[in-house]
Amino acid sequence: MAIQRHIGVHMSDEEMKNVVAADEAAFASPVPTQMVSNGEYNPLPQTEQQAKVEALIKEMADMHAKKHGMDRRRFLQTSAGMATAFVAMNKVFGPIFDVSEAEAADMEMSDYRAKQLSGQFIFDDQTHFIRDDFNKEGLLGLTKWAVGAKVNPRINEAPMTLARYKMDNYLKEIFLDSDTKVSLLSGAPFDDPSWWLLSNDAIQNACRAVNKMAGGTRMLGHTVITPKYPNWMDEVDRGIAELHPVSWKSYTIGDPFGPSKYAWRLDDEKLMYPFYEKAVKSGINTICIHKGLMPRDYEKAFAGTWLSATVDDLGKAAKDWPQMNFVIYHSAIRPWLADAPEREMAEFDKSAYIQWSTDLARIPEKFGVNNVYAELGTTFASSCVTNPRFCAALVGQLVNLMGPERVVWGSDSVWYGSPQWQIEALRRLEIPADIMKKQGWKTALGGPNSEVKQKIFGLNSAHLYGLDLKLTQGPAFTADKLAAIKAEYLALGGDRSNKTYGYIAKKDSQTA
């Protein structure tokens, strides 16, 4: 029997028995209290600490909600509800997030803070939606909409379809329910063509439609390139001549969801250097590369190809092509998430090494290059939920070894629902003083709108993609049509759904 699977999901049928759609089963917390998978790795069962966080959130939310005369669900959709979640995380994981109990209790205070930060320039460097004609039957069983009281009534109006992953909901989650100002839309190839995410034409069509509707630049798009595929350079030529992407997207591993016959290396002179030459000449000189996110037993699972998922090929390519920019998606982190996060944190405490992301962080110094960037999609989302201290160490290492100018924000939306909780997490995240001291780091992350965070959230990407920095700090994103739509949406009571659209482990699989 052919196994049909949702685009972006590569867990087996057997694995799928152990997970449920996150929006259906997870407690609708402003910040997930359990790791959510984008399908590129298995979600961990809820840990004991995460269960404590969830219980605390419920307890505090019930208390605050009662004072404000609302139910828990409604309270958790407010800024105070978001603050409550971070207070709970601090109580369990230690003081990693900058938040006070007063903020959780005082809606006026939390609303004021949220309003003050709502204009912050946030450029999401990695986003996805799926093509409209993707209609595999098996997907319906995997991604059915939640029913009942836990689900946003607005979402419930839609039938149980793939719509949540499609463009309409993407626009809502990213541009209406979060402070994101500009997104970069991506795609992905698979060895099985029926899984291809979006065509390069569809990406550009979406950008044109959104930007026309907004009356400004709100969405930028990739052109996916597929080295080793037949005639792949023809698509490069077409991209340059017709599509005009802002950057290229590719997968050195070939297929993100399985061992591929199209794995390749960035430093393959015969294969890639003619491409770099064309890219530089065209002015489209930034390439975003999926790296990392490998299973625990990657040497067996990806025997013969796994090296392509590391940054082993990056230093030489970056040095040979200083005119190119190499944006490394997921910061090349190997999915330690499949292992116990505590083990990874212990390894960092011992050796200051995080598998593969540290290799990335060391490249600028090792090769004397400044054209390599670390992108945080999925890596940040999952680590800040499972082990905030590890998340702080990870981001801290990237910032301190590569420089705050070389780290770019990405959320991997729309797989995790609205990225607002991720944005809030980075705004509040700080590197613990003991880690700073032990590692000898000088650069702290700072307050929610610190120079470092402004760079990560948007200024670095604005620089990469030639956006006018005066515009990004001015009224451009508060005065266009999309901003007007958002204002109207909020005035009509638009509320964040607190939904995550990946998969979480079933409770009865936690001991598996």
Partner 1 sequence: MRGFLRSSVAALSLALAASCALAQQKDERAGTCADAKSQMEYFCDPARGAGDTMVAVGTACENAKKNVAAACEGKVEADKAYKFDK
Question: Where does this chain touch partner 1 (CB under 8 A) — which range of 70-78, 108-116, 256-264, 383-391?
Answer: 256-264
Region 157-216 residues binding partner 1, contact defined as CB under 8 A: 189-193, 195-196, 199, 201-202
Region 345-404 residues binding partner 1, contact defined as CB under 8 A: none
Residue 298 or 380: the one with the smaller Cβ distance to partner 1 is 298
Question: Where does this chain touch partner 1 (CB under 8 A) — which range of 117-125, 252-260, 441-449, 482-490?
Answer: 252-260
CA distance 368 to 347: 27
What is the distance in angstroms between the CA of the first residue and the CA of the last residue of the chain? Answer: 26
Q: What is the DSSP letter of 174?
A: I
Count interface residues toward partner 1 (CB under 8 A).
59
**Residue 248 touches partner 1, criterion: CB under 8 A:** no
The least distance separating partner 1 from the CB of residue 228, rounded to whole angstroms, comes to 7
DSSP output for 400-442? HHH-GGGEE----BTTTS-THHHHHHHHHB---HHHHHHHT--
The least distance separating partner 1 from the CB of residue 435, rounded to whole angstroms, comes to 27
**Residue 139 touches partner 1, criterion: CB under 8 A:** no
The least distance separating partner 1 from the CB of residue 82, rounded to whole angstroms, comes to 31
Residues β-bridged to residue 289: 250, 328
> Alpha helices, DSSP H only, in 106-179?
107-117, 137-142, 153-156, 167-171
DSSP output for 59-89? HHHHHHHHHTTS-HHHHHTSHHHHHHHHHHH
Q: Are 1 and 495 in contact (CB under 8 A)?
A: no
The least distance separating partner 1 from the CB of residue 120, rounded to whole angstroms, comes to 34
| Residue count of the chain | 512
The least distance separating partner 1 from the CB of residue 208, rounded to whole angstroms, comes to 17
Binding mask 11-40 for partner 1 (x = CB under 8 A): xxxxx--x---------------------x
**Phi-psi group of 295: left, alpha or beta (phi > 0 → left; psi -120 to 50 → alpha; rest → beta):** beta
Residues β-bridged to residue 429: 97
The least distance separating partner 1 from the CB of residue 305, rounded to whole angstroms, comes to 6
Residue 63 or 233: the one with the smaller Cβ distance to partner 1 is 233
The least distance separating partner 1 from the CB of residue 186, rounded to whole angstroms, comes to 14
Q: What is the DSSP letter of 456?
A: I
Cα distances (Å, whole numbers) of residue 274 to 47, 146, 244, 282: 48, 49, 19, 12
CA distance 492 to 486: 10
Residue 113 or 330: the one with the smaller Cβ distance to partner 1 is 330
Residue 236 or 459: the one with the smaller Cβ distance to partner 1 is 236
Q: Are 373 and 408 in contact (CB under 8 A)?
A: yes
Tell me which residues touch partner 1 (CB under 8 A): 3-5, 9-15, 18, 40-42, 45, 189-193, 195-196, 199, 201-202, 224, 226, 228-232, 234-235, 254-255, 257-263, 293-298, 300-305, 335, 338, 509, 512
